[in-house]
Structure 1
């Protein structure tokens, strides 16, 4: 239970800090996925940052110009990837149908929605 509590606290901290950065109608999930999955995931792919993290203190790493450059690259890559996928999904019934199949299959959308409804008493 303690690992899950730490993870929940960690995610809540991310959401609180990201709320201060972005404006507009963004859900907590939108913000969390963008920062903790998309941007962090792209940064984890950087061999330069892996090497710098291994060889520097956190403070030295935080001040690295490479971190700033890689962050900008990650943001641009995420925008391009999401834009490309969204454009294809908007323009193609086949892609939307495939997304629906994935969501109802391995992504377990229905099951996740049922689980949420149980917590809110909507049934």
Structure 2
């Protein structure tokens, strides 16, 4: 199951890399498509109903899907812009983000895991 999940993420990354240009990391692109956009679409009752009651091809041809993707893009822009603006304007919010990243976000531990085991901590 883990290999299937990794293969799906690898395919998403490869395909999204072909879509966007500019100073964007693979992580930026993956977060945008696989989390922000897909997350919004997964909340849509209309799309849930259509997925349950149609073939994948029929679902893919739905004008509702196209409209909801556009809505999700606009919602993501609004949400990320709002959160970024708030974080830029508030030292308290940045401090809390730092606390979350160092606590449950496990930033320190994950960064240490990025280092190859053959490299010393010198």
Q: TM-score, normalised by structure 1?
A: 0.94
Say whether residues 1:104 and 2:102 are aligned partners.
Answer: yes
Equivalent-residue separation in structure 2 for 1:86 and 1:16 (angstroms):
27
RMSD of aligned residue pairs (Cα, Å): 1.2
SS for the counterpart of 2:37 is: helix
After superposing on structure 2, the runs of 4+ consecutive aligned residues of structure 1 that deviate more than 4 Å are: none
- The 3 A distance-change label for structure 1 pair 27 and 79 is same
Name the count of aligned residue pairs. 121
Higher helix share: 1
SS for the counterpart of 2:115 is: helix
Equivalent-residue separation in structure 2 for 1:76 and 1:46 (angstroms):
15
SS for the counterpart of 2:105 is: coil
- The 3 A distance-change label for structure 1 pair 119 and 49 is farther
Say whether residues 1:81 and 2:71 are aligned partners.
Answer: no
Q: TM-score, normalised by structure 2?
A: 0.94
Equivalent-residue separation in structure 2 for 1:122 and 1:28 (angstroms):
27
